[in-house]
Amino acid sequence: MKKIKTALISVSDKINLKPLLKILTKNKVKIISSGGTFKEIKKLKFKCLEVSEFTNSPEILEGRVKTLHPKIHAGILNKRNNKSHLKDLKNNNFENIDLVIVNFYPFEKTIKSTKNHNKIIENIDVGGPTMVRAAAKNYKDVTIITSSNQYEELIDQLIENNGSTTLEFREKLSRVAFTETAYYDAIISNYFNKISSTLFPTKKIFYGNLVEKPRYGENPHQQSAIYSKNLRMNLKQVHGKQLSYNNYNDIFAALTISKSLPKDTGTVIVKHANPCGVSVKKNQLESYKSALACDPVSAFGGIVSCNSKMTKKLALELNKLFLEVIIANGFDTSALKILKTKKNLRLIDAIDFDFKEILKFTSINEEILVQSEDTNKFTSKDFKIVSKRKPNSQQLKNLIFAFNVCRYVKSNAIVLAANKTTVGIGSGQPSRLDSCQIAINKMKKFINPNNEIVAASDAFFPFVDGLEKLVQAGITAVIQPSGSIRDKEIINYANQTDTVLVFSKTRHFKH
Distance CA 493, CA 478 (A): 12
Strand order in the sheet with 6-11: 49-50, 30-33, 6-11, 99-103, 143-145
Residue 368: phi and psi, rounded to 5, are -125, 125
Task: Give the active site residue among 5, 39, 137, 342.
Answer: 137
Residues paired with 364 in a beta bridge? 367
Distance CA 103, CA 13 (A): 7
Torsion of CA 484, 486, 492, 495, to 10 degrees: -30
Contacts for 277 with CB less than 8 Å, ≥ 6 apart: 267, 268, 269, 290, 291, 292, 293, 294, 295, 298, 299, 421, 422, 425
Task: Give the active site residue among 73, 272, 313, 397.
Answer: 272
Residues, the chain, total?
511
Distance CA 463, CA 470 (A): 13
Query: Per 3-state DSSP, what percentage of the chain is helix, strand, and coil (rounded to 5)?
Result: 40, 20, 40
Distance CA 126, CA 64 (A): 8
Q: Is 137 a catalytic residue?
A: yes
- Of 337, 378, 350, 346, which Cα lies nearest the Cα of 264? 350
Which positions are annotated as active-site residues? 137, 272
